[in-house]
């Protein structure tokens, strides 16, 4: 009889619970590094590290949202700066996965993105942030062009919400990989 047959199969829920327990129990420096994978705001990372332990994934996600809402626009800008520009080559695996809709984009579309990214940064002073997961290149370009019409006060709120969505996606990825 093989040993594999004697070992119980872990469900996805079991694996997530094990990873959450590890996140709760690890050294603060390790938690800090894990949370940095999800969001580039030093303040958010510190708040999340101190908020441990989390009873379950729902509490982790709710706490992440609450801590993000307590951050300032400067904290948001720090988080935005941790991201690559949409449409540029990226080496980070999570960013590659999230921006997979850019794969195979035409040269014309990439050039349009580069111009719109430049216009966005000139107008708002930070890179365009969008939760790119599941979006095609043309959908992301349309969102960028639409958001270029916003005033700065509205746009930083939009960008912060997109960062929150990215953070939630990455928290789930952190516990499922």
* Residue 4 domain-assigned (yes or no): no
pLDDT digit string (tens) for 126-176? Answer: 999 999 888 888 898 999 999 999 999 999 999 999 999 999 999 999 998
* Alpha-helix runs per DSSP H in the chain: 3-6, 12-25, 28-36, 42-51, 57-69, 73-81, 93-98, 107-124, 137-147, 152-176
* pLDDT, position 110: 83
CATH number at residue 117: 1.10.3330.10
- 53-91 pLDDT, tens digit per residue, is 999 999 999 999 999 999 999 999 999 999 888 766 655
Q: Please report which confidence band the pLDDT of residue 108 belongs to, taking 50, 70 and 90 as the band edges.
A: confident
Residue 73 lies in a domain: yes
pLDDT at residue 5 is higher than 70:
no
Q: For 39-52, what is each residue's pLDDT tens digit?
A: 999 999 999 999 99
Provide the annotated active-site residues: 83
Is residue 148 a part of any domain in this protein?
yes
Task: Report whether pLDDT(118) > 60.
Answer: yes
Residue 2 lies in a domain: no
> For residues 48 and 96, what is the distance between their CA atoms, to the nearest angstrom?
25
Domain-located, residue 6? no
Residue 3 counted as domain residue: no
Considering its fold, how many domains does the chain have in total? 1
Residue 5 lies in a domain: no
Domain membership flag for residue 55: yes
Nearest alpha-carbon partner for 126 in 59, 78, 91, 87: 78
**pTM (2 d.p.):** 0.86
Cα separation values, 162 from 64, 68, 71, 101, 168, Å: 14, 12, 14, 16, 10
Domain containing residue 132:
11-176
């Amino acid at each position: 009889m093989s040993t594999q047959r004697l070992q119980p199969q872990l469900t996805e829920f079991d694996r997530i619970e094990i990873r959450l327990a590890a996140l709760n129990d690890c050294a603060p420096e390790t938690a800090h590094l894990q949370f940095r994978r999800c969001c580039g705001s030093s303040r958010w990372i510190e708040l999340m590290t101190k908020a441990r332990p989390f009873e379950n994934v729902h509490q982790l996600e709710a706490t992440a949202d609450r801590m993000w809402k307590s951050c300032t626009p400067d904290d948001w800008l720090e988080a935005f700066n941790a991201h690559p520009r949409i449409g540029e080559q990226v080496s980070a695996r999570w960013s590659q996965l999230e921006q997979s809709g850019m794969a195979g984009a035409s040269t014309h579309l990439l050039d349009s993105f580069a111009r719109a990214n430049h216009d966005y940064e000139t107008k708002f002073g930070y890179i365009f942030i969008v939760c790119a997961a599941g979006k095609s290149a043309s959908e992301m370009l349309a969102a960028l062009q639409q958001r270029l019409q916003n005033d700065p006060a509205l746009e930083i709120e939009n960008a912060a919400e997109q960062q929150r969505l990215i953070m939630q996606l990455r928290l789930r990825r952190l516990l499922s990989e």
